[in-house]
Structure 1
Amino acid sequence: MAHSCSPTDDLVEIQQLLARYAVTITKGDIDGLLAVFTSDGTYSAFGDTYPLAEFPALVEAAPKGLFLTGTPVVELDGDTATGTQPLCFVDHATHDMRIGYYSDTYARTEDGWRLRTRAMTFIRRSGAHDSGRPHAYRRGEA
């Protein structure tokens, strides 16, 4: 896909994309959240990878609260990029925190940059880094 943007323009667009992710998921705006991903986008955590079609159920089952993200480190490579973004999630009811980071891939689309893959790594009190407990979310269960 031909483009005439500078690397700085690309970085700012990706940062705004990731800000939209954090704001839409914090506000419970599922349509807005889905719009930041490519049509084949996936989210990985809890020992599994979820396609876009499963996002609404996954988000519904997840705790609600503030998704506070930091500035990502992004490596541009033409019409694709990779990145890592720190996350601090604060539960709305208890103010308990979960910390970690997202490992991402991005793709330039006709509609601009979008997330193609996002994988969560949690940082535990022990110092361990892991992708979450398998089956913390179960498909098809309410």
Structure 2
Amino acid sequence: MTAQHADPGDNRRYDDLADIQQMLARYAVAMTRGDTEQVLAVFTPDGNYSAFGDTYPLDDFPALIAAAPQGLFMTGTPVVDFADDGDSATGTQPLCFVEHSAHALRIGYYDDTYRRTPDGWRLHTRAMTFIRRSGAHDSGRPHAFERTRT
């Protein structure tokens, strides 16, 4: 799979980029508003989220959101690379999260995979990397979220 950047003569790629950016904006707004249903709507049904040293299926996402601090999700424009098939892509999107009660910051970035679906572009995988004050980049503490394992 070879990554392709948008070609100025290819309007479809620009439409795809706009669709992906809007989908990611819906994610950030829904996270800010605590709207779990809308967060889940931007994923493929078989999608997953990685953070805290683990990968979570979408069934775990509502509990993960409920356990997380609430606040403002400010995301930047993603860098997107399209696969040769035109129906999948990868991307990286910066994030600055501001916790609502103390205005404490968390910064980092998401590494994503995207898929074109009949309902438009959707996240297939989203992996969070935190940037620490030390400058370290990591996925978080494994004990930050507990779930029942079956």
- Aligned residue number for residue 68 of structure 2: 62
TM-score (norm 1): 0.94
Task: Work out whether 1:126 is the aligned partner of 2:134.
Answer: yes
> RMSD over aligned Cα, in angstroms?
1.1
How far the C-alpha of 1:135 sits from its partner, in A, is 1.6
Amino acid at match of 1:119: A
TM-score (norm 2): 0.89
- Residue from 89, 92, 98 that aligns with 1:90: 98
How far the C-alpha of 1:100 sits from its partner, in A, is 0.2
- 1:1-142 → structure 2 map (5 Å cutoff): 6-77=12-83, 78-140=86-148
User: Within 1, Cα distance between the matches of 2:72 and 2:99?
Assistant: 7
Amino acid at match of 1:33: V
Structure 1 unaligned blocks of 5 or more: none
Amino acid at match of 1:137: F
User: Across the two proteins, how many residue pairs are aligned to each other?
Assistant: 137
